[in-house]
Structure 1
Amino acid sequence: MFQFILKKLRRFVLFTVAFSLSFIFLIFLILYINYNVSKQYVQPDTVYDSIMENKEDGVLFTTVNRSFLKENNLWAIRVGENGEVIESCRKPSEIPETYKLTDVARFTRYYLKDYPVMTYIVGDVLLVIGYPKGTLDKLPFNYYSAEQWLLNVDLALIFLLGYLFFLFFMYRKERNNLFKKMFPLQEALEEIYSAHYTPLDETGPLKEVSHAINDANARYVQLNKSQSQWIRGISHDVRTPLSKLSWGLNDLKTDENKEAVKALEDEIMRISKTIQDLNDTSRLQTLSDDRFILQNPAPLLRKIIVAQMNEHEDRRILFDNQLSEDAKINMDSHLFSRMIDNVISNSIKYQPGDIHVACRETEESIHITLWDNGGGVKKEVLDRLERSDSDSVYVHGMGLLISKQICRLHGGKMKACNINGGFNVAFILPRRH
């Protein structure tokens, strides 16, 4: 959930930054386009250079220069020291022939009869180059302050950096606010199916979400309670007729039908064990760890192995213990025995050959591995065990599922696989110092 929200927040920030950069790029693009549009008219300096290169014997507007001015839709005049026009080319009719000093000062900075003009000094005379009306704008100043220009650049950079810092600050602020508001929700979601669930406070901007999570937990608790009651009821209702069937079969047993009766008794035992496994599965889902004590698992493992060998004298169980005396785990002896006994019984019932039990320790954990060489189990059993799925699990798979649940209650992990032609189960349990 957090990663999704942060991803959305990052996308928003990146979008804002990209939009800002795109806006700046657009401004520069407009300026560049304007610059290119302005280039459709020849630059005044280019016109001046062309005129000076092609003048002849003091005549500025030679045939070449006149053609150049005509091609570029320009006009030009040469004003002498007395203010009179000495020479002209394509001069509009409203342009005067004589100018006073004030006229020269005015059109040098501004316009001449609304024509944008540029002036150049050529010896003792004044060269005036005119452009069509409305083509160019003249600035009312011919200087700028370098310090002021640099100050404007600095201010622009400071504004840009401040803007980016503001975006980053807002991103961090919103991110922290999201963490503060969403962290309790994440904790609640992780514990929603746990006995340690703490109801969320249904106030604030996320009260609807908090209410939905609390309601989901309440529904789960109610469903779990109903399921347990249903299983206990079914178990009670089924055990009585099963017992009567078992007693009745003993009365009906004869030499002729003893094999058929034995098969029926085995089916009754299978049904009874399935019901017991269902009861255990339901009970383990709500069992707390208050009964757990710190102890070394090796003595209990020996006891389990001896009991199994006494019951099945034709089978060998090899025990390899590499645990030190101070290797301890926090465990419930009864549940731990059931966890190991389920796996050994599974191998005895379904797999031929020797059974191996090995223990080793690391700094952080204790590893208990059980394996045989009987060909392994079906892939569908392993898949259901991986999903912790009790649907359609028969006696074979149910015992392994119960072992996995018990391992989880001990804070450990159970791994089951087919390897080296046999079935291998490893319990990794946290070591307590």
Structure 2
Amino acid sequence: MSIVKYFSRNLLKFFGLLLGLLFLNFFLFIFILYTDPLDSVVKNTPQNIYYNLKTEINDSSDFSIKSKNLLKANNTWAMVLQSNGEIFKSYNLPETLNKKYTLTDVVKFTRWYLDDYPVFSFIEDDKVLVLGFPRGSYDKFPSNYYNYFSFKYIFLGFIGIILIDLIAIFIMFFYSKKKLLNEITPITDSLRNLSENKSIELEERGNLLEIKEALNKTSEIIERNKIESERWIRGVSHDIRTPLTVILGTSQALNNKYDDDKFEIIEDNVLLIQDILSNLNLTYSLNLKDEVERETFYLDVLLRKVIVDIMNVYEGYSFKLNVGKDSYSYFGNKTLLERLFRNLILNSVKHNDKCDVEVTLNKLKTAFSITVEDNGSIDEKTVEKLQNKVAYDSDGFGILIAKKIVSIHGGKINFSYNNPGLKITIELPN
């Protein structure tokens, strides 16, 4: 499905939900308005009760059993007042009420309340029927009574409608979010992999098809460019090595014949160029890899070998290896780590005329710690430059290669000032 269709369909779903909620709200509103909320409290309206008692108002006898049952069923009390304000007869009258009322009293409770009881008055000849309902069952406004339970019912009904709307919107939001995440997560993961120089392959089906196709095509182009670049670098390196070999051989022959130091300078620079080409190939090769072949070996044995090899070539330098009694068995790429240790130790040797180099190997709780430190002439600014180095510059590929080898093994490398000299700390997870 295309991007436009995908988002159009989701918008239609959203508007469909809103339309459905409008219809639901309408029907719930009608239901609330036309449902009698007083069935459990008041069975009849005051007007209906009056019509049922009308024939008994002027009758001197007590209310009939039928009338009493009606009043009882509606939780209502009743009294009939004479013109002189005295009670003619009553039923279930609260004890707190007076037994006689003035005209002023009648006007007051007709307009407001009688001892907080909502009352309704009905005139029949020279008598007044007063019907009293439970406190809190009706609310009195300026000119009329309004049933408290009706207001409460309608208010709670509206609250219920709002809650239903919120729940429906939340469910729709949660469902849409989950579905969108299912569609977006593979795409964001693929973008992250591309940024980390990894290849991707998304399934070209379902929603957001255009984005998936574009990402797959981008990945194919990147992979093709990687292969072509690697071939080009290898080809150029090979083409350069051939004349370099000729130059080196000729220079050595001339040096043997004429014994001139200038030929040694030529040889050193040829070897330097060959080393640069080797580092260039290794750097690009490592950039194409996220994982390497691994084997089990001992880090302390490897470090001893590297230090001994360097000691046999470089004189005038002091080398020291500090190793504890722990087992230093490690699962990694032995060739790359040997290159790493050799480069870092040689870095101290080549950039200082005379210095002491100390290598320490420790076993931590979850990692191996290797430090290479010297007391050379490097300054703090250069150390900071090494720490932040992420691209090739005049200092060559050595530091970049070291950082990449450590990264491939899931470790960390840190460059700090040793005051004087340089301290390099490596952590390789075990």
* Shared fold (TM-score, shorter chain, > 0.5): yes
Whether the 8 Å contact between 2:198 and 2:290 is mirrored in structure 1 is no
Q: 1 CA distance for matches of 2:278 and 2:258?
A: 32
Q: 2 CA distance for matches of 1:255 and 1:166?
A: 95
> Which of the residues 280, 285, 288 maps onto 2:287?
285
> Which of the residues 171, 195, 199 maps onto 1:169?
171
Deviation at 1:161, TM superposition (A): 2.6
Report matched runs for 1:296-307 at 5 Å: 296-307=298-309
Deviation at 1:154, TM superposition (A): 0.8
Q: 2 CA distance for matches of 1:428 and 1:194?
A: 21
The 3 A distance-change label for structure 1 pair 387 and 206 is farther
Q: 2 CA distance for matches of 1:285 and 1:197?
A: 12
Q: 1:18-51: CA deviations, max 9, x gaps?
A: xxxxxxxxxxxxxxxxxxxxxxxxxxxxxxxxxx
How many pairs align? 291
What is residue 268 of structure 2 aligned with on the other side?
266
Deviation at 1:282, TM superposition (A): 2.0
Whether the 8 Å contact between 1:193 and 1:220 is mirrored in structure 2 is no
TM-score in terms of structure 1 length: 0.61
Report sequence identity in percent: 26
For residue 399 of structure 1, what is the amino acid of its counterpart? Answer: G
What is residue 336 of structure 1 aligned with on the other side?
337
TM-score in terms of structure 2 length: 0.61
For residue 191 of structure 1, what is the amino acid of its counterpart? Answer: N
What is residue 29 of structure 2 aligned with on the other side?
none
Deviation at 1:341, TM superposition (A): 0.4
Q: 2 CA distance for matches of 1:219 and 1:161?
A: 52
* SS state at 1:366 partner: strand
For residue 186 of structure 1, what is the amino acid of its counterpart? Answer: T
* SS state at 2:271 partner: helix
> Which of the residues 261, 274, 277 maps onto 1:275?
277
For residue 142 of structure 1, what is the amino acid of its counterpart? Answer: N
* SS state at 2:397 partner: helix
Deviation at 1:264, TM superposition (A): 2.0
Q: 1 CA distance for matches of 2:383 and 2:229?
A: 24
**Alignment root-mean-square deviation, CA:** 3.0
What is residue 216 of structure 1 aligned with on the other side?
218
Whether the 8 Å contact between 2:383 and 2:417 is mirrored in structure 1 is no
* SS state at 1:307 partner: helix
Report matched runs for 1:72-221 at 5 Å: 142-192=144-194, 197-221=199-223
What is residue 38 of structure 1 aligned with on the other side?
none
Deviation at 1:386, TM superposition (A): 3.3
Deviation at 1:337, TM superposition (A): 0.4
Gaps of 5+ in 1: 1-11, 17-138
What is residue 423 of structure 2 aligned with on the other side?
424
The 3 A distance-change label for structure 1 pair 377 and 208 is farther
Whether the 8 Å contact between 2:387 and 2:414 is mirrored in structure 1 is no
Q: 2 CA distance for matches of 1:324 and 1:263?
A: 46
Deviation at 1:350, TM superposition (A): 0.4
For residue 221 of structure 2, what is the amino acid of its counterpart? Answer: R
What is residue 402 of structure 2 aligned with on the other side?
403
Deviation at 1:381, TM superposition (A): 8.0
* SS state at 1:192 partner: helix
> Which of the residues 287, 312, 315 maps onto 1:313?
315
Deviation at 1:387, TM superposition (A): 5.0
Q: 1 CA distance for matches of 2:232 and 2:329?
A: 38
Gaps of 5+ in 2: 1-13, 19-140
Q: 1:101-157: CA deviations, max 9, x gaps?
A: xxxxxxxxxxxxxxxxxxxxxxxxxxxxxxxxxxxxxx9x83322111001111122
The 3 A distance-change label for structure 1 pair 288 and 144 is closer
Q: 2 CA distance for matches of 1:411 and 1:203?
A: 35
Whether the 8 Å contact between 1:373 and 1:421 is mirrored in structure 2 is yes
For residue 240 of structure 1, what is the amino acid of its counterpart? Answer: T
Q: 1 CA distance for matches of 2:291 and 2:357?
A: 30
Q: 2 CA distance for matches of 1:420 and 1:171?
A: 59
For residue 425 of structure 2, what is the amino acid of its counterpart? Answer: A
The 3 A distance-change label for structure 1 pair 421 and 177 is farther
* SS state at 2:428 partner: strand
Whether the 8 Å contact between 2:414 and 2:426 is mirrored in structure 1 is yes
Report matched runs for 1:356-371 at 5 Å: 356-371=358-373
Q: 1:1-33: CA deviations, max 9, x gaps?
A: xxxxxxxxxxx9xxx9xxxxxxxxxxxxxxxxx
Deviation at 1:372, TM superposition (A): 1.2
Deviation at 1:284, TM superposition (A): 2.0
The 3 A distance-change label for structure 1 pair 214 and 386 is farther
Q: 2 CA distance for matches of 1:410 and 1:167?
A: 48
Deviation at 1:172, TM superposition (A): 2.2
Whether the 8 Å contact between 2:389 and 2:400 is mirrored in structure 1 is no
